[in-house]
Chain A
Amino acid sequence: MASYNYSYIFKYIIIGDMGVGKSCLLHQFTEKKFLPDCPHTIGVEFGTRIIEVNGQKIKLQIWDTAGQERFRAVTRSYYRGAAGALMVYDVTRRSTYNHLSSWLTDARNLTNPNTTIFLIGNKSDLESQRDVTYEEAKKFADDNGLTFLEASAKTGANVEESFIETAKTIFQNIQNGSLDLNAAESGVQQKTQPAPAVDLGDKPAANSGCGC
């Protein structure tokens, strides 16, 4: 694992009500394992993983915040400088869906305008207990300009996709210039990529031959 070899660092923040499975999603994403008895997060915990988007290695520095209301004041301190915000609700508990607008307000107010906000409906494996339909959540996402996926930390369905889609959006924003890397709180750090050590003797230039 060449953990020192990446071009960008994106800061993610995961928000949402207590018990929607934020930490499990993170654990599934970083460890590819489901953690059945995830303890309540206190304050914030961290996870990292290096992914590849458009051939660029990107290190995701993920801030997994506590969902408990009493931590709200503390976790609000951590939004700043996030490039991506994963807003999670539990498809089996409508209250967690109803609280989304409050989370969205926080996310909008406490991050910069270019922060990519991604809506995740977790626990999609529990279809029998579903309390929030895909359609209404999709509408909510569209109304608010969010990308939306239903995922399952337990099965791992759409977990990778959620994190990677967010990274792709951020990367696009960087490339089309809407996300200014030099801005103080873009949430993105670009690493000065060292010039790869090229051994000229190794192999001939790939497309040197064709003269026609």
Chain B
Amino acid sequence: MSDFADDDDVFEDAQDLVEESPADVHAAAPVEPSPAAPATPATEADDEADEAVSEVVATVHSTPAPAATATAQVEETHSATVAQEPSQPEPGPAAVSVDAQPAQHEPAPSPPPPAAAATAAAGTSTPATVAESNSQTPTESIVAPSSEPETAPAAPKALKQAEPVSPEPTPTTTQVAPTAQSTPSTVPVDAPELAVKQAAPQERASKQAEPIQTAQNTPPTVPVAAPAPAPAPAPAAASNNAGWGSWGSWGSVWSAAAATVTSVTETATNLSGNISKITREAIESVEGSLNIPTPEQMSRMAEDTSSNSASSAPPAATPSTSSPAPEPTPAKVATPVAEQSTASPSAASSSSLFGGWGLGSVLEKVKTVVPVDTTGLEALGQNVMSHGLVALETIGKRTIDAITEQGGEGASVRLRVPGAGPRPTLSQLLRDRRAESDGLAGGLASAQQQKAAALVSLSAMLDKYQGLVHLEALEMLTTNCTVKVQAAQTGLASQQLLEAHSKLDRIRMVLDLGEELTDSSAIVYSADKFLEEATALIEKLGYDRNATLVHRLADAQEAIFGELRDVLDEDVPNAVSVFQISSLTSELHQQTIDAIARITSLALEHIRKLGESLLLQRLEKERQVSTERAFANAAMARNLVALFREHLVSAQQQHSSGLATLARAASEAAGDNKDVQQQVATVQNSVQTEAQDATSYLHDALLLLVPMFQLHITDGMAATSPESPLL
């Protein structure tokens, strides 16, 4: 509050300054909020990225015009009007100066609307809260990114700067003003501040590339609106408005907007409930209507109306939107505009402009709620501040929301948070797939057909051989372990933590099966070799002390390949009729899926048992595993699963060879009967796919062991850590 009061003083000083020394007028010019403000982001960007700057400047150019105009104006009409001039910009965001207030309020009918509109305009592109708050801080931050994607680097800066900006002029702003205007930096202290404040609306405008253009094209409408109720505003205000109007109706919009903001905010002191409502209404209606006018439409409207401003404004608009260096042009334009110092045009222009956007009603509402009450200034200040905070908060929230919603980085971060978001597990996916295949089978008429369909569904067969439930159990172990690994890391010193991370990552790499089976035809199947190698690994890993699993493996081996041998050796070569081929194909299909499911389930069981055993080893202190041992074990686990995968692929290949024989027989026997050939081809494809699926399940399951091995490593590290004993 006191800040604001001081502000007023400062401002008055500034005015005095201006009044006293016409020479200083030029210096005072920067006070023009519009020019300086737009520059702010640009200059900041300058430091960061030059290209960005050019971009920003280009965008800003909607404003440069005004800047020039303003300056010109000041120079030419540096009388009482000039004195008032500084006060004008002010109202923009904070509406601090007392002088400005009355000036702006008398023409109330017209200016307020724009204000609302300005806010509203901002609202369309940004969260409502931001608009409501009117605080320069959020606006600036918003603007920078919005004006052009490339300006992104500038954005954060803008944000940072926006914060300090508040009442006291900051070095940044002062800096900015000169750069933007390329004038001596004699700028009064409050000038930059004002500039910044004013910048807010303008930047908002720049955010919407299209609106800006339209806005600039609209000035012609000014005369039309002239008849609008402009109750003889003070000359000062008039000249100001004219000046603003000259660089496009946005100018007037902004000034008027500023006024309205002031008045609206003021009203808040009286009608605190109303203010938010009004702003919201304004925002809503703008949101509803802002997207309406295309530049073409607006320019057409501009053509329809003619006046001094019309003639002068279009040139200003053109350069600002299209050429990167429009400054000279606007300056020229500015002169006539400044001369045309009648309040009505500008006020009218703003109201008509927004009327054209369907904002008329909103404006009316705002007008009705604008009693002039300068005593509410302090409260106003409070309001602005608190709104600013609210806006900042909202922006922060929205940013987080956006990050988390849009996935990408944010999503991955979220996934890393334990327990965040349900992630479907592999077993769940398989179960769902199973249910699907059941659903399909259910559509079939006979129970026999249903059974047949189930027999060729890998997920159903995995369920039958308990593969799914082994997987589910393994997932449960993994979940628990993951939590423990994370907990264990918290006990480590920072150096150890780095070391731990690299080791923990390495475990994952050791366990990665990779794509070794590129040349799967190279596998020469040998049941004995498989059993021998697998048994050796199982013994070393020590999870099958009863050797039950090894026995089961041998049984399964015999079951799978014994049957297959019979079929391949006897039935397939003798299949000559279409019927024989067809039924053998079905049989081989079932057998293949069965074999794949069986081997996969066995492998899943082994992986799960190994997982349990790793946990048990950890709990039995005497069998504590060294880090080297953990890596060696991981490598063995990998090799074991690789064996299973090889086994699985070879089983599939043998079946496929049988199918290939059948396919040849089919082409000979079938003749024109394409059905059986089609059947064999379909089965061949299906078997291929199922085998691939199964190997990927094995791979995924193996990776579920990662946390178990990681626990061994963190245990080892914790043991050597002075900070924490075993978890």
A32-67 interface mask toward B, CB cutoff 8 Å, 1 = contact, 0 = none?
A: 000000011011101010000000000001010000
Residues of chain B contacted by A207 (CB below 8 angstroms): none
A182-201 interface mask toward B, CB cutoff 8 Å, 1 = contact, 0 = none?
A: 00100001011111110100
Q: Are B612 and A74 in contact (CB under 8 A)?
A: yes
Residue of B nearest to A61 (CB): B469
Residues of chain B contacted by A44 (CB below 8 angstroms): 473, 612
- A42 and B543 CA atoms in complex are apart in Å by 9
Closest chain-A Cβ to B78's Cβ sits at a distance in Å of 74
Q: Are B444 and A197 in contact (CB under 8 A)?
A: yes
Q: Are B450 and A4 in contact (CB under 8 A)?
A: yes
Q: Out of B431, B451, B466, B608, which one reaches A2, CB within 8 Å?
A: B451
Q: List A9-48 residues whose CB lies under 8 Å from chain B.
A: 39-40, 42-44, 46, 48
Residues of chain B contacted by A205 (CB below 8 angstroms): none
- A78 and B431 CA atoms in complex are apart in Å by 18
Residues of chain B contacted by A195 (CB below 8 angstroms): 442
Q: List B539-558 residues whose CB lies under 8 Å from chain A.
A: 545-546, 548
Q: Are A194 and B616 in contact (CB under 8 A)?
A: no
Q: Are B435 and A192 in contact (CB under 8 A)?
A: yes
Closest chain-A Cβ to B430's Cβ sits at a distance in Å of 13
Closest chain-A Cβ to B449's Cβ sits at a distance in Å of 9
Residues of chain B contacted by A46 (CB below 8 angstroms): 466, 469-470
A4-B450, A80-B476, A189-B431 known, 16 other contacts, Cβ within 8 Å: A2-B450, A4-B438, A4-B441, A4-B454, A5-B450, A42-B546, A42-B609, A43-B608, A46-B466, A48-B466, A71-B612, A73-B615, A184-B422, A191-B438, A194-B439, A195-B442
- Is the CB of A77 closer than 8 A to any CB of chain B? yes
Q: Are A197 and B443 in contact (CB under 8 A)?
A: yes
Given known contacts A2-B450, A4-B441, A197-B443, A39 and B435 CB-to-CB distance under 8 angstroms: no
Q: List B68-107 residues whose CB lies under 8 Å from chain A.
A: none
Residues of chain A contacted by B635 (CB below 8 angstroms): none
Most chain B CB atoms below 10 A, which of A3, A44, A199: A44
- A61 and B434 CA atoms in complex are apart in Å by 15
Q: Are A73 and B619 in contact (CB under 8 A)?
A: yes
Nearest first, the 6 closest Cβ-Cβ pairs linking A and B are A194-B442, A43-B612, A4-B454, A77-B480, A197-B445, A77-B476
Q: Are A43 and B609 in contact (CB under 8 A)?
A: yes
- Is the CB of A203 closer than 8 A to any CB of chain B? no
Closest chain-A Cβ to B40's Cβ sits at a distance in Å of 51
Summed over the interface, the residue pairs from A and B with CB atoms below 8 Å come to a total of 72
Residues of chain B contacted by A184 (CB below 8 angstroms): 422
CB<8 Å pairs between A and B, sample of 27 = A2-B447, A2-B451, A4-B450, A5-B450, A40-B546, A42-B546, A43-B613, A44-B612, A46-B470, A63-B469, A71-B612, A73-B616, A74-B616, A77-B473, A77-B480, A78-B473, A78-B476, A80-B476, A184-B422, A191-B435, A191-B438, A192-B439, A193-B442, A194-B443, A197-B442, A197-B443, A199-B445
- A197 and B464 CA atoms in complex are apart in Å by 24
Q: Out of B439, B444, B616, which one reaches A71, CB within 8 Å?
A: B616
Q: Out of A3, A42, A70, A197, which one reaches B620, CB within 8 Å?
A: A70
Residues of chain A contacted by B615 (CB below 8 angstroms): 73-74
Given known contacts A43-B609, A70-B616, A189-B431, A77 and B470 CB-to-CB distance under 8 angstroms: no
Residue of B nearest to A71 (CB): B616
- A184 and B428 CA atoms in complex are apart in Å by 12
- A5 and B437 CA atoms in complex are apart in Å by 12
- Is the CB of B191 closer than 8 A to any CB of chain A? no
Q: Are B438 and A77 in contact (CB under 8 A)?
A: no
B457-470 interface mask toward A, CB cutoff 8 Å, 1 = contact, 0 = none?
A: 00010001010011
B128-159 interface mask toward A, CB cutoff 8 Å, 1 = contact, 0 = none?
A: 00000000000000000000000000000000
- Is the CB of B567 closer than 8 A to any CB of chain A? no
Residues of chain A contacted by B464 (CB below 8 angstroms): 3
Interface residues of B, dominant DSSP: helix
Residue of B nearest to A66 (CB): B612
- Is the CB of B537 closer than 8 A to any CB of chain A? no
- Is the CB of B477 closer than 8 A to any CB of chain A? yes
- A199 and B454 CA atoms in complex are apart in Å by 22
Residues of chain B contacted by A5 (CB below 8 angstroms): 450
- A70 and B621 CA atoms in complex are apart in Å by 12
Most chain B CB atoms below 10 A, which of A77, A184, A195: A77
Residues of chain A contacted by B609 (CB below 8 angstroms): 42-43
Q: Are B438 and A39 in contact (CB under 8 A)?
A: no
Residue of B nearest to A196 (CB): B442
- A194 and B439 CA atoms in complex are apart in Å by 5
Most chain A CB atoms below 10 A, which of B438, B480, B612: B612
Most chain A CB atoms below 10 A, which of B438, B441, B545, B548: B438
- A87 and B469 CA atoms in complex are apart in Å by 21
Q: Are A4 and B460 in contact (CB under 8 A)?
A: yes
Residues of chain B contacted by A39 (CB below 8 angstroms): 546, 548
Residue of B nearest to A45 (CB): B466
- A192 and B431 CA atoms in complex are apart in Å by 12
Residue of B nearest to A80 (CB): B476
- A42 and B274 CA atoms in complex are apart in Å by 72
Given known contacts A39-B548, A194-B438, A74 and B443 CB-to-CB distance under 8 angstroms: no
Closest chain-B Cβ to A160's Cβ sits at a distance in Å of 22
Residue of A nearest to B447 (CB): A2
Residues of chain B contacted by A191 (CB below 8 angstroms): 435, 438
Residues of chain B contacted by A4 (CB below 8 angstroms): 438, 441, 450-451, 454, 460
- A123 and B235 CA atoms in complex are apart in Å by 107
- A71 and B454 CA atoms in complex are apart in Å by 36
- A41 and B412 CA atoms in complex are apart in Å by 39
Residues of chain B contacted by A77 (CB below 8 angstroms): 473, 476-477, 479-480
Residues of chain A contacted by B447 (CB below 8 angstroms): 2
Residue of B nearest to A194 (CB): B442
Closest chain-A Cβ to B443's Cβ sits at a distance in Å of 6
- A4 and B438 CA atoms in complex are apart in Å by 7
Given known contacts A5-B450, A74-B612, A63 and B473 CB-to-CB distance under 8 angstroms: yes
- A73 and B616 CA atoms in complex are apart in Å by 8
Residue of B nearest to A6 (CB): B438
Residues of chain B contacted by A194 (CB below 8 angstroms): 438-439, 441-443
- A25 and B20 CA atoms in complex are apart in Å by 104
Residue of A nearest to B619 (CB): A73
Closest chain-B Cβ to A21's Cβ sits at a distance in Å of 18
- A73 and B620 CA atoms in complex are apart in Å by 11
B506-550 interface mask toward A, CB cutoff 8 Å, 1 = contact, 0 = none?
A: 000000000000000000000000000000000000000110100
Most chain A CB atoms below 10 A, which of B422, B466, B470, B616: B616
Residues of chain A contacted by B619 (CB below 8 angstroms): 70, 73
B591-628 interface mask toward A, CB cutoff 8 Å, 1 = contact, 0 = none?
A: 00000000000000000110011011001100000000
Residues of chain B contacted by A196 (CB below 8 angstroms): 442
Closest chain-B Cβ to A191's Cβ sits at a distance in Å of 6
Residues of chain B contacted by A63 (CB below 8 angstroms): 469, 473
B466-503 interface mask toward A, CB cutoff 8 Å, 1 = contact, 0 = none?
A: 10011001001101100000000000000000000000
Closest chain-B Cβ to A129's Cβ sits at a distance in Å of 28
